[in-house]
């Protein structure tokens, strides 16, 4: 019996592999595709060469006025001259370090929140400390009344008890009881006028009113805290819309359809112009806060419909299994139903987040200048008039960095959370 010699492995033809193979298969698979590809490649190359020449080779990077940029390429000297106003608006010039560190703090909060290892009680501390630092830097002075502490105690105790009442130790349950009791009794005494008004004031810096805020801090604050508060509020609306109680379901359906049926600009105008007419004489609410509430209401209605779609996608067996384990409604929803529903709707949720991050520019209608609007205001200076392309291109680049980062994180999170379900 003769031995069979092993056949040497032959590499595939170069024309079918690598870049050449990919181009032959996708760009030049036929004569029509080849001609189309060549035309598009020529057009793209021409545009790219023109852009490089305009943006880099013939651009002006330093100048004292726009007149020195005339007849050349891009006038990046405008960005160099106005970048502090574009980023921080009318915030006091000597205090620009405050919004800068506020932005760094918020970005650090978001980066830490994106780490799944932080999805526990540490996340509460991250957002509490980060929010305190952010608003202390922006305002300079913070005042916390006794009512604020009582509401926090009541809400924290109620949520903790509802979620962990079955699995918590007695000491932990007693802590929840104590927090709810202190919060409830204190609020009742406060409403009756028995508990006096007092609070804690922290004033390490000079006060800066919200009318002077502008630029990137306004955009990030409106988007971050608007979506942070809109998310749990949207979850409650989605659950209420699926409720078997006709009154709760009707109220949630009516509210969602009403908010989704009007543009965001109308809500901003209502919050800025109409709301003060219904307030008691002498009572006023900060304009920035009113805009933030309008964004929360609008975003919550859209998030509610997205989450409702995720809830409807779950098989009925998941609800029955949770009931068989003896979980109450809050535990079943928070531990079994919502985690699965949210995993399904990650792509549309991130798409909504990206949309609302860009929609913050609509607050210009009520006199608040976010990043895009401060960039636009940089063109008002007669010395630098006539260069809108550079300003809007710079603004588009900044928006792209934020939105593309959210998109990539969405893809990463979707892959990570679906590892156990892939085959």
pLDDT, tens only, 354-401: 998 998 888 888 888 999 999 988 888 888 888 888 899 999 999 999
Higher-confidence residue of 327 and 186: namely 186
Q: What is the pLDDT of residue 287?
A: 85
Higher-confidence residue of 263 and 274: namely 263
* For range 304-331, the mean pLDDT: 84
Kindly report the number of other CB atoms within 10 A of residue 346's CB atom: 19
- State the average pLDDT for the chain: 85
- Which residue, among 192, 158, 196, 152, has the nearest Cα to 175 in the 3D structure? 158
**pLDDT above 80 (res 417):** no
Spatial separation of the C-alpha atoms in residues 168 and 170, rounded to whole Å: 7
**pLDDT above 90 (res 223):** yes
* For range 28-36, the mean pLDDT: 83
Q: pLDDT confidence of 419, banded at 50, 70, 90?
A: low
* For range 95-121, the mean pLDDT: 91
Query: Which own/partner pairs from 255-260 qualify as long-range (CB within 8 Å, at least 24 positions apart)?
Result: 255/301, 256/301, 256/304, 256/305, 259/297, 259/298, 259/300, 259/301, 260/301, 260/302, 260/305
**pLDDT above 60 (res 330):** yes
Within its chain, how far is the Cα of 246 from the centroid? 33
Say what percent of the chain tops pLDDT 90.
28
- Give the global pTM: 0.85
Q: What is the pLDDT of residue 283?
A: 67
**pLDDT above 80 (res 340):** yes
Q: What is the pLDDT of residue 188?
A: 86
* For range 168-188, the mean pLDDT: 85
Q: What is the pLDDT of residue 421?
A: 61
Q: What is the pLDDT of residue 333?
A: 82
* For range 197-223, the mean pLDDT: 89
Structure confidence by residue, pLDDT tens digits, 119-173:
888 888 899 999 999 999 999 998 888 888 888 888 888 878 776 776 678 888 8
CATH of the domain spanning 79-91+210-423, picked from 3.40.30.10, 2.70.98.10, 1.10.3720.10, 3.40.50.300: 1.10.3720.10
**pLDDT above 70 (res 7):** no
Spatial separation of the C-alpha atoms in residues 295 and 288, rounded to whole Å: 11
């Amino acid at each position: 019996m003769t031995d069979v010699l092993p056949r040497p492995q032959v590499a595939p033809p170069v024309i079918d592999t690598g870049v050449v193979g990919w181009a032959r298969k996708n760009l030049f698979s036929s004569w029509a595709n080849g001609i189309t590809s060549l035309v598009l490649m020529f057009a793209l190359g021409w545009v790219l060469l023109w852009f490089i020449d305009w943006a880099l080779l013939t651009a002006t990077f330093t100048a004292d006025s726009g007149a020195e940029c005339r007849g050349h390429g891009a006038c990046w000297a405008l960005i160099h001259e106005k970048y502090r106003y574009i980023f921080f608006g009318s915030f006091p010039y000597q205090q620009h370090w405050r919004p800068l560190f506020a932005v760094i703090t918020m970005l650090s909060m978001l980066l830490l929140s994106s780490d799944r290892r932080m999805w526990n009680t540490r996340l509460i501390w991250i957002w509490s400390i980060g929010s305190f630092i952010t608003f202390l830097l922006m305002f300079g002075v913070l005042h916390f009344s006794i009512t604020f502490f009582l509401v926090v105690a009541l809400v924290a105790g109620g949520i903790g008890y509802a979620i962990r009442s079955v699995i918590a130790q007695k000491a932990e349950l007693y802590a929840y009881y104590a927090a709810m009791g202190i919060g409830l009794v204190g609020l009742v005494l406060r409403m009756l006028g028995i508990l006096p008004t007092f609070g804690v004031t922290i004033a390490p810096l000079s006060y800066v009113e919200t009318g002077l805020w502008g630029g990137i801090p306004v955009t990030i604050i409106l988007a971050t805290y608007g979506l942070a508060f809109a998310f749990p509020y949207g979850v409650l609306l989605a659950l209420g819309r699926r409720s078997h109680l006709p009154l709760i379901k009707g109220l949630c359906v009516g509210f969602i359809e009403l908010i989704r049926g009007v543009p965001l600009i109308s809500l901003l105008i209502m919050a800025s112009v109409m709301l003060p007419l219904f307030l008691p004489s002498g009572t006023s609410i900060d304009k920035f806060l009113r805009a933030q509430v309008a964004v929360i209401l609008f975003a919550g209605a859209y998030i509610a419909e997205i989450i409702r779609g995720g809830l409807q996608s779950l098989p009925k067996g998941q609800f029955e299994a949770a009931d068989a384990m003896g979980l109450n409604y809050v535990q079943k929803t928070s531990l079994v139903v919502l985690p699965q529903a949210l995993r399904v709707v990650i792509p549309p949720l991130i798409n909504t987040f990206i949309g609302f991050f860009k929609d913050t520019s609509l607050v210009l209608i009520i006199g608040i200048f976010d990043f895009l609007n401060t960039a636009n205001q940089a063109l008002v200076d007669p010395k630098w008039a006539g260069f809108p392309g550079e300003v809007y291109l710079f603004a588009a680049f900044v928006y792209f960095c934020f939105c593309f980062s959210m998109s990539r994180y969405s893809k990463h999170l979707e892959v990570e959370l679906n590892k156990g379900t892939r085959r």
